[in-house]
């Protein structure tokens, strides 16, 4: 059946009114139905929760969906409940906050430590030879699209006398919102996300450099260590600046605690 049905999947709702709903998407939940995931998605949960009060602009498979998070990325999302709200929110995301209050921020746990503790990654992204992966492309490539990420190292783990670290937590602010942007950009500068199966698999053996319990925590971590902790936007009806933050989920808290343990 091409039209998704409502399913009683629990939602962690931060705010809701007649125009929109703000929620925390858990890791492992696909946003909308697609190949291999026709049921059990956020859209199915939203249809059950909201009934008919979801924007239809995204089509029957993506009602109300203004922006997305990867299946294994957790964090704050906003969903439109009518077409006017959807258009207004979509315009904000398309503008990337250049002319309004829209802002998106993430926490990521990465391998190593960027040489510059604060920086800007300006590297166009495009398809990487298959349907799902992305890669940094030359600006003159046919499918290259502007992609800019601002990052800042907020904590370092097992730092050495030469200033390098085995791992770090970074805060990333998006100036654009491309598919897999943070994951590809951090890998591009040599610091892929811990647990990232697509862009960080070559770094898995680095876990052997960690003492216990960090080594075990990294080896069992089942996803990319990425959480969309902050979302800010202009309310489409009132014009009010809406700001939402949510702490990193338990699995990332456990990972960070293990990385801290035994560190000098």
The helix, strand and coil proportions of the chain, stated in percent and rounded to the nearest 5, come to 20, 30, 50
| Whole-angstrom distance, CA of residue 192 vs CA of residue 53 | 39
Half-sphere exposure of 100 (CA within 13 A, CB side): 23
With tokens 């929620």, the residue in question is 23
| Whole-angstrom distance, CA of residue 87 vs CA of residue 56 | 11
Reference 171, options 187, 151, 186; nearest CA is 151
- Count other Cβ atoms within 10 Å, centred on residue 257: 12
With tokens 């291999």, the residue in question is 36
CB distance 18 to 51 below 8 Å: no
Catalytic: 162? no
Burial of residue 236 (number of CB atoms within 10 Å: 0-12, 13-18, 19+): buried
| Whole-angstrom distance, CA of residue 153 vs CA of residue 119 | 9
Phi/psi of residue 219, nearest 5 degrees: -65, -30
CB distance 103 to 173 below 8 Å: yes
Which of 12, 17, 70, 91 is catalytic? The answer is: 70
Give every CB contact of residue 50 below 8 A, 6+ residues apart in sequence. 21, 64, 81
| Whole-angstrom distance, CA of residue 209 vs CA of residue 40 | 38
Q: So which residues are the catalytic ones? A: 70
């Amino acid at each position: 059946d091409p039209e998704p049905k409502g399913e009683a999947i629990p939602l962690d709702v931060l705010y809701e009114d007649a125009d929109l709903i703000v929620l925390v998407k858990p890791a492992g939940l696909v946003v909308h139905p697609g190949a291999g995931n026709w049921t059990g998605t956020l859209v199915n949960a939203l249809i059950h929760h909201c009934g008919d009060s979801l924007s239809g602009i995204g089509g029957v498979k993506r009602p109300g969906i203004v922006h997305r998070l990867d299946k294994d990325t957790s964090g704050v999302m906003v969903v439109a409940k009518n077409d006017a709200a959807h258009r207004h929110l979509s315009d904000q995301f398309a503008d990337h906050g250049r002319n309004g209050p829209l802002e998106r921020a993430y926490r990521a746990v990465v391998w190593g430590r960027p040489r510059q503790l604060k920086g800007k990654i300006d590297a166009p992204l495009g398809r990487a030879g298959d349907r799902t992966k992305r890669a940094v492309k030359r600006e003159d490539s046919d499918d290259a699209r502007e992609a800019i990420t601002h990052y800042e190292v907020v904590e370092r783990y097992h730092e050495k006398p030469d200033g390098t670290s085995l791992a770090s937590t970074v805060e990333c602010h998006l100036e654009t919102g491309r598919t897999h942007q943070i994951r590809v950009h951090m890998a591009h500068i040599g610091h892929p996300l811990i647990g990232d199966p697509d862009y960080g698999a070559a770094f898995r053996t680095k876990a052997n450099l960690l003492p216990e319990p960090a080594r075990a925590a990294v080896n069992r971590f089942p996803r990319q260590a990425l959480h969309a902790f902050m979302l800010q936007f202009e309310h489409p009806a009132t014009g009010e600046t809406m700001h939402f933050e949510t702490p990193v989920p338990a699995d990332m808290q456990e990972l960070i605690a293990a990385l801290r343990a035994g560190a000098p």
